[in-house]
Amino acid sequence: MMIYRFLSGDDDSAFCHKVTKALSEGWLLYGAPHYVFDAATGTMRCGQAVTKEVEDQPYDPDKKLVDYV
């Protein structure tokens, strides 16, 4: 089964670490990153979709995606 996550945050090193951690856990980048200016805070926000192929198992919407193996 393929699972999907969308990571988002301020455009800073913490966001880069979040994406790097996901990659180190077997997630793959899906598409290009997205950027938007948050006028309320005056900062750039970014997001990156990632996917991961996991063993065939029933999908459980109550299960955290990081808990799928």
Per-residue pLDDT reduced to its tens digit, 7-52: 999 999 999 999 999 999 999 999 999 999 999 999 999 999 999 9
- 43-53: strand order across its sheet: 2-10, 43-53, 28-38
* pLDDT score, position 57: 86
List the chain domain ranges: 2-56
pTM equals 0.85
* pLDDT score, position 67: 86
Cα dist from 68 to 14, 26, 33, 35, 55, whole Å: 24, 11, 24, 28, 8
* pLDDT score, position 51: 97
